Amino acid sequence: MSRIRLGMVGGGAGAFIGAVHRIAARLDDRYELVAGAFSSTADKSKASGAELGIDEKRCYGDFTEMAKREARLKDGIEAVAIVTPNHVHYPAAREFLKRGIHVICDKPLTSTLPDAKKLVKVAGKSDALFVLTHNYTGYPMVRQARDMVASGALGKIRVVQVEYPQDWLTEAAETEGLKQAEWRTDPERSGAGGCVGDIGTHAYNLAGFVTGLEAESLAADLHTFVEGRRLDDNVHVLLRYAGGARGMLWSSQVAPGNENALRLRVYGETGGLEWAQEDPNYLWHTPFGEPKCKLTRGGAGFTETTGSRIPPGHPEGYLEGFANLYDQAADLIVAHRDGKTPAHLLPTVEDGLKGVQFIDACVRSSRRNAAWVDL
């Protein structure tokens, strides 16, 4: 089967997440990167493209030029990966979607709620597919947890606890020339949420993906500890879910000793589950009144059928989870060629809207001294 012709917006020199997307796209050898608007200027884009072996004629100075020209080419791109700061997601995705080019976009969906709502409408009118890369949904043990919750292994869900602490912004890294910190702490590029938008949305999405619960209201305390920082760097959120379950979410980028400590706990009437991203091949299941049981990826009791790539006991995680999303997006694109719409677990534009609604509600709540607000 021929590789899917892929383009990329962003991901030029010095960009971390662009390289991650490229690795994920190549891991199953189902894509070929053939074009890109890799940086904000034509010269920088061509320089980045040259390092990647891309034809200079298909290295563009901006995404609008790229979308127009690639849509006219007989061998133009079939899909585009958007890996820019948040404020570019909506205008870039719009240009490709309206020309029938599939979009694979990094999270959060957009930097503002109005843009998120507009993007949902654009995607709804387009024949092209839209996939949002909440990559932690690609981990096999996360999908195992989802299957167990859905099967009733925990009974009715009562309590959801999710956290994502980091420590890389404990000091004012944005004033020291660190590109990744500069745009994430800039409201013009990141949006109204700092930590809550960058990693809080991952935690919120993970909780919803595993439990299937929809949050109805929340009370949020967004705080900035580093003097002079323009966006939040620590977040506490109480959640009320439809059906009566209660949740707590903590995300922080000023928690020394934490690297990428995403962790989920789910408790129901008959049992509980625990999963940690830094130890992703294991899922702890505790039926009420019984000993705690460790489930391993590919081991006894493992029923999830997608995404496990190597034998049990070998480390597998971040890049493979990302690659699972790209592999399954390729399945969708191929099915789309044949006029089919198979079921899938990929995050959608609607899931992206929920994430931006979460950010918006947290900001509104925090401004009202952590008052309860509806999503």
| Both tokens assigned to 47 | 């320089």
Domains of the chain in sequence order: 4-128 (3.40.50.720), 139-310+354-374 (3.30.360.10)
Q: Over the stretch 210-238, which tens digit does the pLDDT of each residue have?
A: 999 999 999 999 999 999 999 999 999 99
Contacts of 90 (CB under 8 A, 6+ apart): 109, 110, 111, 115, 116, 118, 119
| Both tokens assigned to 32 | 């070929």
Q: Over the stretch 231-272, which tens digit does the pLDDT of each residue have?
A: 999 999 999 999 999 999 999 999 999 999 999 999 999 999
Backbone angles phi, psi at 27, to 5 degrees: -60, -35
CA atoms within 13 A on the CB side of 255: 16
CA-based angle 325:140:180, to the nearest 5?
50
Question: Which of 15, 59, 27 lies closest to 329, judged by CA?
Answer: 27
Strand order in the sheet with 4-10: 31-37, 4-10, 79-83, 102-105, 130-132
| pLDDT value for 311 | 85
Measured between alpha carbons, how far is 153 from 264 in angstroms, rounded to an integer?
A: 16
Contacts of 128 (CB under 8 A, 6+ apart): 96, 97, 100, 101, 102, 103
Q: Is 337 exposed, middle or buried (0-12, 13-18, 19+ CB in 10 A)?
A: exposed
- Whole-prediction pTM: 0.95
Contacts of 130 (CB under 8 A, 6+ apart): 93, 97, 102, 103, 105, 123, 348, 349
Contact by Cβ (8 Å): 192, 184:
no
Q: pLDDT tens, position by position, for the chain (375 residues)?
A: 689 999 999 999 888 999 999 999 999 999 999 999 999 889 999 999 999 999 999 999 999 999 999 999 999 999 999 999 999 999 999 999 999 999 999 999 999 999 999 999 999 999 999 999 999 999 999 999 999 999 999 999 999 999 999 999 999 999 999 999 999 999 999 999 999 999 999 999 999 999 999 999 999 999 999 999 999 999 999 999 999 999 999 999 999 999 999 999 999 999 999 999 999 999 999 999 999 999 999 888 888 766 788 888 888 899 999 999 999 999 999 999 999 988 999 999 999 999 999 999 999 999 999 999 999
Pairing of strands 157-165, 130-132: unpaired
